[in-house]
């Protein structure tokens, strides 16, 4: 038995997403790049590589990881590059997408040898949470004024537009793409490629994949562009669990179980967006609050229903622990960092990374 806590990536579940991505690519002609900001656990890149076209990034570190560990096509994007990193970014990328005309012009010389693009902001998005809304008022994410972009068209050959956010509604995607076409048609007609970003939950169970593929193909034909998608969450959804053990139980008006992990340290995104963790099957007569072991009063994974009472030593699997989770883990309270394990297609499990005191010590000085 592997010592908890550990993240467990199940390749047979990952495969379900990969097969849908491969099918979408085939039906639509769109290319799919893994968004490393969401998931960068390179131990499964060998497996994912056969189903995707490459990676996209948000920093020098990510573009380098994508280039070295995933290979294939490597897109570089960042909200802003620094002078000291631009040459190295370019050395790892096939395409560089600038967030602003200012950055495009500033790094004209350094980037002239590779394909260049610009991020456009259509001013509409599917997000209802302003923290994650790229189209929020005064958003710094991309250019929106066609008149300002037209004069730099000779420097670029394509665009990236990311305005979907956890969007599982095809009709909403379709409407927003229509708004993009209306606003940016003169620019799209002069482009060779357009990346529509991530945030589209097309690997979800009831998502109309064929309709989505048809819409992408139509868009591609209308403007004569190669379409890219940048799926993060859609690539890895439901593939991974966080495996924990109960260390203590208390009753303080509610049944509380403290586990050997921490939502603040190991599933931070849930806290930021004030969401509960997910447990399956979450059915039964016994309701327990599952709590983390950091000192934070609100270090709580959520309240769940169990078949039996919880006792010290019980193992619990927290679902959907891949996206924006492993990339955000941190050493708060010095809580033991979860190891990373992979369940192979034959069912065997191997630990690919264990973290020690030395990793904690070396994360600071």
Ligand X SMILES: Cc1ncc(COP(=O)(O)O)c(C=O)c1O
What's the chain look like in SS3? Answer: CCCCCEEEEEHHHHHHHHHHHHHHHHHHCCEEEEECCCCCCHHHHHHHHHHCCEEECCCHHHHHHHHHHHCCEEEEEECCCCCCCHHHHHHHCCEEEECCHHHHHHCHHHHCCCEEEEEECCCCCCCCCHHHCCCCCCCCCCECCHHHHHHHHHHCCEEECCCCCCECCHHHHHHHHHHHHHHHHHHHCCCCEEECCCCECCCCCCCCHHHHHHHHHHHHHHHCCEEEECCCHHHHCCCEEEEEEEEEEEECCCEEEEECCCHHHHCHHHHHCCCCCEECCCCCCEEEEEECCCCCCCCEEEEEEECCCCCCCCEEEEECCCCCCHHHCCCHHHCCCCEEEEECCCCCEEEEECCCHHHHHHCCC
Q: Does 38 help bind ligand X (rule: CB under 6 A)? A: yes
Nearer to ligand X, 193 or 288 (CB): 193
Per CB under 6 A, contacts with ligand X among 145-174 are 162
Nearest to ligand X of 233, 264 (CB atom): 233
Does the footprint of ligand X cover residue 48 (CB under 6 A)?
A: no
CB of residue 163 to ligand X, shortest distance in Å: 9
Query: 4 vs 17, which CB is nearer to ligand X?
Result: 17
Check binding of 93 to ligand X (CB under 6 A): no
66 near ligand X, rule: CB under 6 A: no
Is there binding between residue 233 and ligand X (CB under 6 A)?
Answer: yes
Asked if residue 5 binds ligand X (CB under 6 A), the reply is no
Tell whether residue 198 is a contact of ligand X (CB under 6 A): yes
Any contact of residue 30 with ligand X (CB under 6 A)?
A: no
Number of residues located near ligand X, criterion CB under 6 A = 12
Please select the residue that binds ligand X; options are 199, 207, 260, 329, rule is CB under 6 A: 199
Q: Should residue 231 be labelled a site residue for ligand X when binding is judged by CB under 6 A?
A: yes
Nearer to ligand X, 92 or 293 (CB): 92
Residue 120 Cβ, how far from ligand X at the closest point, in Å? 11
Q: Which residues of the chain form contacts with ligand X (CB under 6 A)? A: 35, 37-38, 162, 197-199, 230-234
């Amino acid at each position: 038995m592997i010592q908890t806590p550990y993240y467990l990536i199940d390749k047979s579940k990952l495969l379900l997403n990969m097969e849908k991505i491969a099918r979408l690519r085939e039906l639509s002609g769109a290319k799919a790049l893994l968004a490393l900001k969401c998931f960068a656990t390179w131990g499964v890149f060998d497996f994912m590589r056969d189903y995707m076209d490459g990676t996209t990034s948000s920093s020098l570190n990510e573009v380098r990881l994508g280039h070295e560990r995933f290979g294939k096509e490597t897109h570089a994007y960042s909200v802003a590059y620094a002078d000291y990193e631009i040459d190295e970014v370019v050395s790892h990328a096939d395409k560089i997408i600038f967030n602003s005309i200012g950055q495009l012009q500033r790094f004209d010389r350094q980037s002239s040898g590779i394909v260049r693009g610009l991020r456009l902001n259509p001013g509409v998005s599917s997000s209802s949470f302003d923290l994650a809304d790229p189209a929020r008022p005064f958003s710094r994410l991309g250019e929106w004024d066609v008149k300002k972009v037209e004069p730099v068209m000779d420097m670029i050959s394509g665009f990236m537009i990311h305005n979907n956010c956890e969007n599982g509604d095809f009709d909403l995607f379709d409407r927003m793409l229509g708004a993009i076409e209306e606003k940016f048609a003169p620019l799209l007609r002069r482009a060779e490629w357009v990346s529509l970003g991530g945030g589209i939950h097309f690997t979800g169970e009831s998502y109309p994949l064929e309709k989505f593929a048809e819409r992408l193909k139509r868009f591609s034909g209308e403007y004569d562009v190669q379409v890219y998608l940048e799926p993060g969450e859609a690539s890895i959804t439901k593939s991974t669990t966080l495996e924990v053990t109960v260390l203590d139980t208390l009753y303080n008006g509610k049944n509380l179980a403290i586990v050997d992990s921490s939502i603040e340290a190991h599933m931070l995104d849930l806290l930021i967006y004030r969401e509960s963790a997910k447990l399956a099957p979450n059915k039964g007569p016994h309701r327990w609050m599952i709590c983390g072991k950091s000192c934070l009063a609100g270090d709580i994974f959520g309240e769940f229903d169990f078949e039996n009472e919880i006792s010290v030593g019980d193992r619990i699997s927290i679902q959907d622990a891949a996206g924006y989770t492993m990339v955000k883990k941190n050493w708060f309270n010095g809580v033991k960092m979860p190891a990373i394990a992979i369940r192979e297609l034959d069912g065997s499990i191997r630990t690919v990374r264990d973290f020690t005191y030395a990793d904690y010590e070396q994360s600071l000085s």
